[in-house]
Amino acid sequence: SRLTSIPQAAPLGLPRAVGVHLASASAALLQRVGSGVLVVVGFQLAEGFPRLAHRLVTGLDVPSIFGRRLLLADTLADFWREWNLPVQRLLSNSVYKPAVVGHRVPPLVGRGLCFLVSGLGHTWPLCCARAAPSDLARMMGFFVLQLPLLALEERLRLRGRAYVYGVLLLASPLF
């Protein structure tokens, strides 16, 4: 028997062309989400191996730039408190404290200013490399998105590692 070419329906009864587009869009999204996971794991490994080598060669331990409870964070606020401690201290001393203590800005606004400055710091190298405006907007969007997420977390008392890493994974395509 001879098979004829019949346009097949994609899952959910969609035309094949739409199904192919959805599949490629889903693959692109999964690739970006996967890259978000790799950022967290990659930073841990990229920092951990040189620290281990240094300890083996010299017998001295180099302090981590990440807090000890990073992977155990139950809230986004806890996660960001443990992420990149030197930059966190810099932003705290140069942005947060002057705004909140010096100018009596609400703490949530102070956190938002820190994320804004961090976003600018992350987009600047992309800007210098002449990245597309959409890439700059997406990168900045990741940092700006953290403020409403932190506000919701605080208001709704959201907790749990699954919540924290779920939110970070869903937001990671922006990064």
DSSP sequence for 79-96: HHHHS-HHHHHHHIIIII
pLDDT tens by residue, 16-68: 554 444 445 545 555 555 555 666 667 777 777 888 888 889 988 888 888 98
**Beta strands of the chain (E only): which ranges?**
9-10, 14-15
pLDDT tens by residue, 64-73: 888 988 888 9
